[in-house]
Chain A
Amino acid sequence: MKKHIFTIFALLAFAPSVSAWNGALHTAIASIADANLTPEARTKIEAALGDHSIAYYAHWMDDVQHKSEYQHVRDWHNVALSPKGKILSAKKADKSASDVVRRADALDGLARAVAALQNRNNLSAQELADNIRYVVYIVGDLHCPSHYVFTDLLEARKMKYQIEKEKKPRSYMRFWEGEAVTATFAWKNNEFVHQLNRLSPERVAALTDGSVMDWVVENAKIYRPIYSYLEPDQHFKRKEYRAWLNKSYEMATDQIGVAGYRLAALLNGLFDESMPKKSIK
């Protein structure tokens, strides 16, 4: 038994990283979405979530994926793409493909959750709440630059960098999950809303136009260049690091707002019949 427990822990310890935006940024995305829900959608959603807002459950999926009943969500973080930006199906991936590619199943997870919510009369209260929480989380992750797995850039995902006087190098993928934003802005949750929930209706309409896959394709074009921002094992002096941060914070921060608007559009379409429905494909 002891041996089994050790094996399980060892497997967990060496499992590929499935981390996402940090909790604060997931919450910011959900809060911006919350500010853009229609009253009807918000009423129905909060009733399903036990009178909690979507922001309350923004990173819930991260918090439960260690449980046996939620193991399936561990692969719902990343999207895999060909060098030309074509979305690849994790299910159809070749067995020889990298583990991170075979586990990049976020779009399938989102499609399943959306389909379940479209037929929510068949769901139990628990299933209804879970599927809303999946949508809230996965749409956030689909706007995190490091969650786009380009098959020709797998080695680049392992890049690290080191800042002077620090003992350990930092992971470049981790950088995009928080520091790309928080190293520049120390905003609290309501402040993300104050800063980012201010786009014109025309701009919001343009950002939320199209399907979820259109959003992913568009994001992939924005995110692919991040792999050219850093040299492998790059060392920074403090001042150099600050200048380097300036390449990334504006885009990373703006994507928090974009994710919030799109999440609202998706949820409004699901829970308010007067609103246009968003499709996955």
Chain B
Amino acid sequence: MKKTRFTILATLLTLMVGTNAWGWGRDVHATITYIAERHLTPQAKANIEACIDGRSIVYYASWMDNHQEESKMWRHSSYYDKDTHKPVGTAYTELSTTIEKLGDYKSLSETECRHRLYHLLHALGDFHCPGHTYFQNADRSFKRNTHYNVVWIDNKETSYHTVWDILLIRYLRSAFGYMDFGHSLDCNIPQQYVEQVTAGTLYDWMCETANRCVHIYDKFPKRKKGTPKEELGHFDLDLVQEYSRLADEQILKAGLRMAKVLNESFGK
């Protein structure tokens, strides 16, 4: 039953990163790339840093957010083609291409190699953000996304998307920088867990993320625009505790998987 449910879900979902959806905050992106950096082989680390002027990959974790004009080829204003009824220009397709191209990075121009790397460093993180799993409904609409309002613990109305992108982690980990946060998540992890998490392909990781994150809609069904504050879902401290593990695990998984992709591409 579980397998069937997963297959249906995987078929229905399309997971994307949108222009107007930002993604994890820069602290989380830095943490994800820092975890990845900790798991790079010496060879991969040396080859990557040779491509980016000796800098750490963490430096470029949010390059895509900061340089929107230069990264617009990976940002898509529409998620869905009404004529063909197919998802177009999806972040999945683009990221797959980037991973494929980085697999033969020596054949790329210096600029393309850098830009593909920046894309990977950011987009693979965003793929693991629970608020970035958009589900295609049976009628091919994209109604199951987090762009609607809830009430955050300070009693202020905010986008549910912002809760997952920024507020939840900021509330829990504001005292941490990326190094402390990365160390706290990536602490004595058994090799078996690393192997288990990094097994499979980008598509498998998408499906797993979707399956793990779909329940975030259960407590917060979409409300119509203009719904009175008292009728909106309230994200309270109990939910902070309940969802913190999900957020932390997604961040760790993103980092480990990023390291796997980078090691495979640059560790040869």
Q: What chain A residues lie within 8 Å of B69 (beta carbons)? A: 243
A200 to B214, CA, bound (A): 47
Asked if B180 lies at the interface with its beta carbon under 8 angstroms from chain A, I say yes
A82 to B69, CA, bound (A): 37
Q: Is the CB of B27 within 8 A of A186?
A: yes
Q: What chain B residues lie within 8 Å of A200 (beta carbons)? A: 54
Asked if A187 lies at the interface with its beta carbon under 8 angstroms from chain B, I say yes
Asked if A195 lies at the interface with its beta carbon under 8 angstroms from chain B, I say yes
Q: What are the interface flags for B1-42 relative to A under an 8 Å C-beta threshold, 1 for contact and 0 otherwise?
A: 000000000000000000000000011001000000000000
Q: What are the interface flags for A174-193 relative to B under an 8 Å C-beta threshold, 1 for contact and 0 otherwise?
A: 00000000001111101100
Q: What chain B residues lie within 8 Å of A194 (beta carbons)? A: 56, 58, 179
Q: What chain B residues lie within 8 Å of A66 (beta carbons)? A: none
Q: Which residue from B26, B27, B67, B177 sits with its C-beta under 8 Å from A190?
A: B177
Q: Which of B44-83 contact A (CB under 8 A)?
A: 54-56, 58-59, 62, 66-69
Residues of B in contact (CB 8 Å), total 17
Q: Which residue from A186, A195, A199 sits with its C-beta under 8 Å from B59?
A: A195
Q: Which of A187, A190, A200, A245 gathers most chain B CB within 10 Å?
A: A187
B25 CB to closest chain A CB (Å) equals 8
Q: Is the CB of A191 within 8 A of B177?
A: yes
Q: Is the CB of A188 within 8 A of B68?
A: no
Q: What chain B residues lie within 8 Å of A44 (beta carbons)? A: none
A256 CB to closest chain B CB (Å) equals 13
Q: Is the CB of B54 within 8 A of A242?
A: no
Q: What chain B residues lie within 8 Å of A234 (beta carbons)? A: none
A249 to B65, CA, bound (A): 14
Q: Which residues of A contact B (CB under 8 A)?
A: 184-188, 190-191, 194-195, 198-200, 239, 242-243, 245-246, 249
Closest 6 CB pairs of A and B: A188-B177, A191-B177, A191-B179, A195-B56, A186-B27, A186-B26
